[in-house]
Structure 1
Amino acid sequence: MAVAVPERRLSVAVLTNSTNKAARDAILQYVLGELVPDWTAESITPAITDPPRPMTLPEGEWAGRISAPEREVPVSLRVLPGGQIELRLADASATVPASAPAAWDLHASFPLQLPTADARINSPELGLGLRLEAGALTGEAHAYKNGDTEGRLGNYLSHPCTLDPV
């Protein structure tokens, strides 16, 4: 857990070797309570004000790459009817619903693993956040492991992604 308190020029990171959020939260509460007297747990709870909306990209095919540190990973994407997206990555593919929150023209999460050494450790999911700019889809691919409803567990690896129409 990492928390920034910009008005105090302070950042706090708590790293644990456990999935026990109660222990992590207790440590964070103690440290912030000592360093930031007016701190409350509610002050670090992110408010998500970017609700998903239907994706409006036209049906079609896109091809490009995810730029990982060890190599460029070829990827292809099809926008299907009904807001569905098919992603092909290495020898695997998956079709999932996509949305378009304010930050992205396409946002989706796939049960596919990025074929890189770091993602194979503990990141079996792949998320995409892409914007349509100058005729190309550009943005981020995130390799991660989904946690419970309160957060993510494991690595969260972000990589640039660019797709052009086919």
Structure 2
Amino acid sequence: MNVRRPPDERTAAEVMSTDLLTVTADESVLMAWELMCRARVHHLPVLDGTGHCLGVLDSASLTAAWEPSGPLRARRSVAALLPRRGPACVRPDATLARTAAAMLAAERDHVIVTGERGDLIGLITARDLIAALAGVAGRDRSRTSSMPSMFRIEPVLPEHAPDGDAVPGSAVSPD
């Protein structure tokens, strides 16, 4: 057991994950699901074209919104699943008590850590806070053994709908 400083002396910067797997707002729901499964993560920060964090897609929300109605629904963007309110944020120097309060106020199990310009620099989950409260090191944040940070999966979806019609957006027309 790796004991750390008492929780009331620790800051967000000390417990945040910084090796983050992210997606852009226009990525598909299927892509997000594949990334979460392959990387074994439960939270994906969603970024806009400038790198600003629009929110965090969590596995519970993704699972609840999943519709097995075919490839068209799986291709919708992750932006459609983000909460209307922006993400809960704290600064790196926020105490763990302040971080926990931000999570509670937002009714979420995560909070993003932002820099001076509001840029995403880390993520803290409820699991990270529990580990800090217990006075132990959190899980190993390095994904080098299972997945590099610059990883991309391209889902393979059928080019024809079950009824034989071409899927809109595909380059192949029905035979």
TM bin, normalised by shorter chain, reads: under 0.3
Output the TM-score relative to the length of structure 1.
0.23
Q: Which of the two has greater strand per residue?
A: 1
Output the TM-score relative to the length of structure 2.
0.22
Structure with greater contact order relative to length (CA < 8 Å, sep ≥ 6): 2
Q: Which of the two has greater helix per residue?
A: 2
